[in-house]
A = this chain, B = another copy of it.
Amino acid sequence: MPYVNIKITREGATPEQKAELISGVTRLLQDVLGKNPQTTVVVIDEIDTDNWGIGGESVTVRRKRGQ
C-alpha cells in the first residue's frame, strides 16, 4: 500500500528506464518492509529544467555552465 513519488528532471528518461524505477522501488519496499507489491503505487514526475532549482539557480543555467 505504499505510495512513492519520484521527481527527476525531464532529460530523456525512456519508458524502459521508468519501468525499471517502478519495478525496483516496488521490490525494495517488499524486501525491506514486506509491503505487498500489488498495492504499491509509484508516480514519476519529470520536471522541466527551468522549473528545478538547486544551489539557488535553475538546472537550465547550471547545464549551460556544464554542471
- A interface residues with partner B (beta carbon < 8 Å): 1-9, 13, 15, 17-29, 31-33, 35, 37-47, 50-61
A54–B39 CB distance below 8 A: yes
B6–A4 CB distance below 8 A: yes
How many angstroms between the C-alpha atoms of A35 and B59 in the bound complex? 14
Asked if A56 meets B40 with Cβ closer than 8 Å, knowing A4-B7, A9-B1, A15-B50, the reply is yes
11 further A-B contacts with Cβ under 8 Å, apart from A1-B52, A18-B58, A41-B52, are A4-B4, A18-B50, A19-B57, A21-B28, A23-B53, A24-B32, A40-B56, A41-B41, A41-B54, A44-B47, A44-B51
How many angstroms between the C-alpha atoms of A8 and B19 in the bound complex? 18
